[in-house]
Chains A and B, each alone.
Chain A
């Protein structure tokens, strides 16, 4: 069974640009969550999508947005990039809506802002 797939693995952008990251969950998983991982802050929750609806949102500015498609694939968009957006962005999927469902993580997209 294929795991969570994130593309691209690496991205280099400059300040002010925008970027779109993609996540394909494990087959049959309907929930997708996004996290920002940095050495100083650990894993910070961005948002969660379930059945194409945003179910939860973390404390990030509106420059961070996402969506989920009918096949459960998800995209995350960051506009007007800032130096502080440099991080590893992780996607995690889980089977359904139950709070006891563990999340399965992808390898992440490492975003570097110059």
Chain B
């Protein structure tokens, strides 16, 4: 079965530090990749997505992610985090076949200290 893993359960950073959250998936075929963010008390929001083309994708709020096919990875990055980035981040994968459901990673909680 397809699975998605996220390297860290909880990451704590100070403001202005750089961020990298790891995401790996197990499926070897063509996939569509997503990062979602859930701010405290809010619904899940799409940060960015990758379907094809340039493996470095840019999303909202200064986030970017790089798809490395050989490593089955889709890591999320941000050069300088802010206190307002405190949230839970979920990586999601959907196989590129009709009728395939999303598979979400377990999430990484990010706490940014002011």
Contact = CB atoms under 8 A, between A and B. Distances in A.
Interface in B43-57: 43-46, 49, 51
A54 B78 CA distance: 38
B96 A42 contact: no
Interface residues of B, number: 25
B98 A99 contact: yes
Nearest to B49: A102
Interface of B: 32, 34, 36, 42-46, 49, 51, 90, 94-107
Interface of A: 3-4, 33, 35, 41-43, 45, 48, 55-56, 58, 90, 92, 97, 99-100, 102-108
Given A43-B90, A102-B46, 20 more contacts: A4-B43, A33-B101, A33-B102, A42-B90, A42-B104, A48-B101, A56-B101, A90-B43, A97-B98, A97-B99, A99-B32, A99-B94, A99-B96, A99-B97, A99-B98, A100-B32, A100-B51, A100-B94, A102-B49, A103-B102
